[in-house]
Amino acid sequence: MYTYRGTLTRWVDGDTAIIEIDLGFYTKRTERIRLARINTPETRDHRLTKRREAVHAKMVAKKICPHGSTVTVRTFKSKRDMYARYIAEVTFQGVNISDYLLEQGVAKAISL
């Protein structure tokens, strides 16, 4: 497991964020990060109810961790999903975002 500091650039949907990760030595890398252990509806779903749920999940995530926030990213060695996104635990001010979204009922738990 590797731990980095980063700046959340934007939320793609409730379980995916774009984060500028500080690798140290004045080196930064922007990555699309998938939150570990959860799944939220996709914003591009053709069903209106699912799209509304997806927008709601994204707004809840944005409320707890707004754009420009400094976050902690914990990745697992070369663990990526089928879309080549890193799967990571992301925390903001000591709150694990995956756990928060599960508590709010906008995400479903998945196994790794």
Buried b (16+ CB within 10 A) or exposed e, 41-68: bbbeeeeeeeeebbebbbebbbeebeee
Q: How many structural domains does the chain have?
A: 1
Look at residue 45 in the predicted model and tell me its pLDDT. 82
Residue 7 sits in a domain whose CATH number is 2.40.50.90
Average pLDDT, the chain: 93
Look at residue 27 in the predicted model and tell me its pLDDT. 96
Look at residue 74 in the predicted model and tell me its pLDDT. 96
Look at residue 98 in the predicted model and tell me its pLDDT. 97
Look at residue 83 in the predicted model and tell me its pLDDT. 77
Question: Is 112 a residue whose pLDDT tops 70?
Answer: no
Identify the helix (H) or strand (E) that includes residue 9.
strand 2-13
Q: Structural domain of residue 70, as residue ranges?
A: 2-109
Question: Average pLDDT for residues 62-75, to the nearest whole number?
Answer: 96
Question: Average pLDDT for residues 28-52, to the nearest whole number?
Answer: 92
Question: Is 79 a residue whose pLDDT tops 80?
Answer: no
Question: Is 81 a residue whose pLDDT tops 80?
Answer: no
Query: Residue 39 corresponds to which tokens in the numbers above?
Result: 């799944």
